[in-house]
Structure 1
Amino acid sequence: MEKNSTEFMQQVYDLATGAYNPGSSIVAENAFVENVFSEGSVCAEAYREVYAAGERLCRRLGVQFGDDVDVEAIVDNMMEIQREIGLKMYEYGWYFAKGGDGIHKV
Structure 2
Amino acid sequence: MLAVIGMLHDKDIAGTLANLAPEVDAWYCAPLEGPRGATAEQLVEHLRCGTVYSSVAQAWRAAMADAKVEDTVLVCGSFHTVAQVMEEIDAGRIGGE
Q: For CA contacts below 8 A with separation 6 or more, give which structure has more relative contact order.
A: 2
Which has the greater radius of gyration?
1
